[in-house]
């Protein structure tokens, strides 16, 4: 049952109308409207990339919307900044607490809550008392004199919540707050949220845990693809209905078809794990010519698994067998030499080096193979670059142009070229088309399918569900550091994948 009228007597704290936000060619929010009332917990639901975090950043003033309006307590606000948002009573508790690690809890709270002049006295005892009171209010057993660096992540989150309480926030945003909390801490948090609600505070609650939404929230707004699919009373929905709302779009059939003929097994993982990364017991097989999609929520461990395979964080348990040979990959260099290539997710830090020329970027991972005795060969490098530019359809001024002169999609193609130049047997792609415009996206899909056809084994990590469903021959789903399900193409649909990713599917395939 859709809600169009707000309950009588309840005040609207926040009103977003038709918010639009684009980053370059990518439209993150396409006209989202959202309302928050006093004394309610309003959940925000949506899969990765739906626009939740962009919406939140618009509310906290970290982003400027390109269009639409924002009203706080009925007053339209333009040019919202983080400090302004704080003054208006908007507080946000992120997954990564933004505290200063070398100061104590009470110093951090004091810093946040005090307006900063230059000479203004920081009242020590008052600050400490306030901290004690706030911590007591949320029932956190943390000493106000503890140095933040020594606190665990959940404890730091609780400090953030105390900050929000102390700043007298009327609108509190919580972004996946229970992600790393224990059962007991979760209960604490729920109590805090309920207390906030009783006080008339409006809470925007983002979580993937449907059971939490059912337990805490009054209303839920579902985002999909940058748009709002509707606002509903939580009581009126079933779990199934929620999932359907999250993913219910048509799976586009405009994906390059798979050819069918598979080669031998290239990669075999048996019980692979790395304690430090939180990954355990992964069993997986990838054959030549096959594209295995890796689905799961953010933090499920897909990138961590890729980093294990690539040697960034080597495995400490289980086996990895590449082309029939049992291996221990301890460094990226070793991985590359063995024929494993990894196109990384964090493009800014690990991808194309923007200041260096395209051609040099392309040969960057192939030095031992392409320049055997250490001497650079410019003509050969240029030739390689020209070939890739032609074959992959890269739109560049020249092979000498710096990587930074290309669009995101073309940079990604250069990244792919770099890894193809290493002549890999296993190609791991981590969010290959994220932030890439629609046109380049489909080109990259064709390239990936073409590579599989040539005999490459492809592992494709993606949070774009249609992409996963459209491209993969099989779909592996990860949750909480474990590989929980592997679905054949015919069994893989939005619902089954999402259920496995969320953990609502009781029939997990034991590996």
Distance from the Cα of residue 293 to its chain's centroid: 16
Least distance in angstroms from the C-beta of 175 to other proteins: 9
Residues 179-218 touching other proteins, rule: CB under 8 A, are: 206
Candidates 251-259, 261-269, 281-289, 341-349; binding stretch for other proteins (CB under 8 A): 341-349
Least distance in angstroms from the C-beta of 343 to other proteins: 10
DSSP 504: -
Least distance in angstroms from the C-beta of 258 to other proteins: 27
The whole-angstrom separation of Cα 504 and Cα 330 is: 36
Place of tokens 């015919």: 490
Residues 9-38 touching other proteins, rule: CB under 8 A, are: 23-26, 28
DSSP 404: G
The whole-angstrom separation of Cα 410 and Cα 433 is: 11
The whole-angstrom separation of Cα 131 and Cα 125 is: 10
Residues 98-157 touching other proteins, rule: CB under 8 A, are: 98, 100-104, 107, 111-112, 114-122, 124, 147, 149-150
Least distance in angstroms from the C-beta of 213 to other proteins: 15
**Nearer of residues 294 and 335 to other proteins, judged by Cβ:** 335
The reply to whether 359 sits near other proteins by the rule CB under 8 A is yes
CB 315 within 8 A of CB 273: yes
What does residue 171 show for φ and ψ, rounded to 5 degrees?
A: -120, 115
Among 15, 37, 54, 472, binds other proteins (CB under 8 A): 54
The reply to whether 83 sits near other proteins by the rule CB under 8 A is yes
Least distance in angstroms from the C-beta of 405 to other proteins: 6
Residues 469-498 touching other proteins, rule: CB under 8 A, are: none
The reply to whether 348 sits near other proteins by the rule CB under 8 A is yes
The whole-angstrom separation of Cα 429 and Cα 416 is: 9
Among 39, 177, 357, 432, binds other proteins (CB under 8 A): 357
The whole-angstrom separation of Cα 170 and Cα 54 is: 21
**Residues in contact with 446: Cβ distance below 8 Å, sequence separation at least 6, in sequence order:** 256
The whole-angstrom separation of Cα 221 and Cα 370 is: 53
Dihedral sign of CA atoms 259, 260, 266, 271 in order: positive
Helix (H, G, I), strand (E, B) or coil at 499: helix
Residues 274-333 touching other proteins, rule: CB under 8 A, are: 276, 298, 310, 312, 331-333
Among 178, 221, 228, 463, binds other proteins (CB under 8 A): 463
The reply to whether 249 sits near other proteins by the rule CB under 8 A is no
Least distance in angstroms from the C-beta of 81 to other proteins: 9
**Nearer of residues 43 and 50 to other proteins, judged by Cβ:** 50
Least distance in angstroms from the C-beta of 359 to other proteins: 5
Among 325, 374, 490, 507, binds other proteins (CB under 8 A): 374
**Nearer of residues 10 and 83 to other proteins, judged by Cβ:** 83
The reply to whether 94 sits near other proteins by the rule CB under 8 A is no
Query: Which of these, 498, 454, 378, lies nearest to 48 by C-alpha position?
Result: 498
Candidates 46-54, 212-220, 231-239, 472-480; binding stretch for other proteins (CB under 8 A): 46-54
**Nearer of residues 39 and 46 to other proteins, judged by Cβ:** 46
Other residues' Cβ atoms within 10 Å of the Cβ of residue 211:
12
Query: Which of these, 213, 177, 209, 217, lies nearest to 95 by C-alpha position?
Result: 177
Q: How far is CA 31 from CA 39, 42, 66, 235, in A?
A: 26, 19, 10, 26
Among 435, 455, 470, 503, binds other proteins (CB under 8 A): 435
Least distance in angstroms from the C-beta of 432 to other proteins: 11
The reply to whether 437 sits near other proteins by the rule CB under 8 A is yes
DSSP 313: S
CB 70 within 8 A of CB 245: no
The reply to whether 177 sits near other proteins by the rule CB under 8 A is no
Least distance in angstroms from the C-beta of 150 to other proteins: 6
Least distance in angstroms from the C-beta of 427 to other proteins: 14
The whole-angstrom separation of Cα 172 and Cα 217 is: 13
Dihedral sign of CA atoms 476, 478, 481, 483 in order: negative
Q: Quickly list DSSP for 219-276.
A: EEEEEETTEEEEEEEGGG--HHHHHHHHH-SPPP--SPPP------EEEEEEEEEEGG
Residues 400-419 touching other proteins, rule: CB under 8 A, are: 400-402, 404-409, 418
Among 58, 283, 434, 505, binds other proteins (CB under 8 A): 434
Least distance in angstroms from the C-beta of 224 to other proteins: 12
**Nearer of residues 38 and 322 to other proteins, judged by Cβ:** 322
Candidates 3-11, 66-74, 376-384, 501-509; binding stretch for other proteins (CB under 8 A): 376-384
Number of amino acids touching other proteins (CB under 8 A): 97
**Nearer of residues 37 and 127 to other proteins, judged by Cβ:** 127
- Give me the helix-helix angle, 408-420 and 438-453, nearest 10°: 10
**Residues in contact with 320: Cβ distance below 8 Å, sequence separation at least 6, in sequence order:** 267, 268, 269, 272, 309, 326, 327, 328, 329
């Amino acid at each position: 049952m859709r809600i169009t009228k707000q309950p009588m007597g309840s005040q609207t704290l926040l009103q977003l109308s038709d918010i639009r936000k684009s980053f370059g060619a990518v439209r993150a929010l396409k006209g989202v409207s959202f309302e928050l009332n006093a004394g309610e917990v309003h959940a925000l639901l949506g899969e990765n990339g739906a626009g939740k975090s962009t919406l939140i950043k618009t509310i906290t003033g970290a982003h400027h919307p390109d269009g639409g309006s924002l009203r706080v307590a009925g007053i339209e606000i333009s040019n919202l900044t983080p400090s302004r948002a704080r003054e208006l009573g908007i507080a946000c508790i992120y997954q990564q607490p933004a505290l200063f690690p070398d100061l104590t809890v009470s110093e951090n709270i004091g810093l946040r809550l005090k307006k900063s002049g230059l000479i203004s006295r920081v009242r020590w005892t008052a600050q400490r008392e306030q901290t004690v009171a706030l911590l007591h209010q949320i029932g956190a057993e943390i000493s106000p004199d503890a140095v933040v660096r020594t606190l665990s992540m959940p404890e730091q989150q609780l400090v953030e919540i105390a900050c929000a309480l102390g700043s007298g926030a009327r609108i509190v945003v919580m972004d996946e707050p229970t992600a790393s909390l224990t059962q007991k801490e979760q209960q604490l948090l729920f109590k805090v949220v309920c207390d906030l609600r009783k006080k008339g505070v409006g809470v925007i609650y983002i979580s993937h845990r449907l059971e939490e939404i059912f337990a805490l929230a009054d209303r839920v707004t579902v985002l999909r693809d940058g748009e709002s699919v509707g606002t509903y009373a939580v009581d009126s929905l079933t779990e199934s209905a929620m999932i359907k709302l999250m993913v219910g779009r048509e799976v586009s059939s405009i994906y390059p078809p798979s050819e069918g003929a598979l080669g031998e097994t290239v990669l075999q993982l048996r019980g692979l794990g790395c304690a430090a990364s939180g990954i355990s017991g992964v069993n997986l097989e990838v054959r030549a010519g096959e594209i295995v999609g890796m689905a799961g929520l953010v933090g499920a461990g897909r990138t961590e698994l890729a980093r294990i395979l690539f040697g960034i964080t080597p495995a400490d348990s289980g086996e990895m067998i590449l082309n029939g040979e049992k291996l221990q990959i301890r460094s990226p260099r070793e991985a590359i030499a063995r024929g494993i290539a990894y196109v990384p997710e964090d493009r800014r830090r690990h991808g194309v080096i923007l200041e260096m020329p395209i051609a040099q970027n392309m040969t960057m991972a192939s030095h031992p193979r392409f320049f055997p005795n250490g001497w650079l060969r410019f003509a050969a490098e240029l030739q390689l670059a020209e070939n890739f530019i032609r074959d992959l359809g890269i739109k560049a001024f020249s092979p000498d142009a710096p990587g930074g002169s290309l669009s995101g999609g073309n940079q990604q193609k250069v990244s792919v070229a770099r890894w193809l130049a290493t002549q890999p047997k296993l190609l791991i792609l981590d969010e290959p088309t994220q932030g890439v415009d629609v046109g380049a996206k489909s080109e990259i899909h064709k390239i990936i399918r073409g590579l599989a056809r040539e005999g490459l084994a492809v592992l494709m990590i993606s949070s774009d569900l249609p992409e996963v469903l459209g491209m993969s021959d099989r779909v592996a789903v990860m949750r909480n550091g474990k590989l929980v399900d592997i679905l054949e193409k015919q069994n893989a649909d939005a619902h089954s994948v999402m259920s496995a990713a969320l953990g609502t599917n009781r029939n997990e395939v034991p590996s």
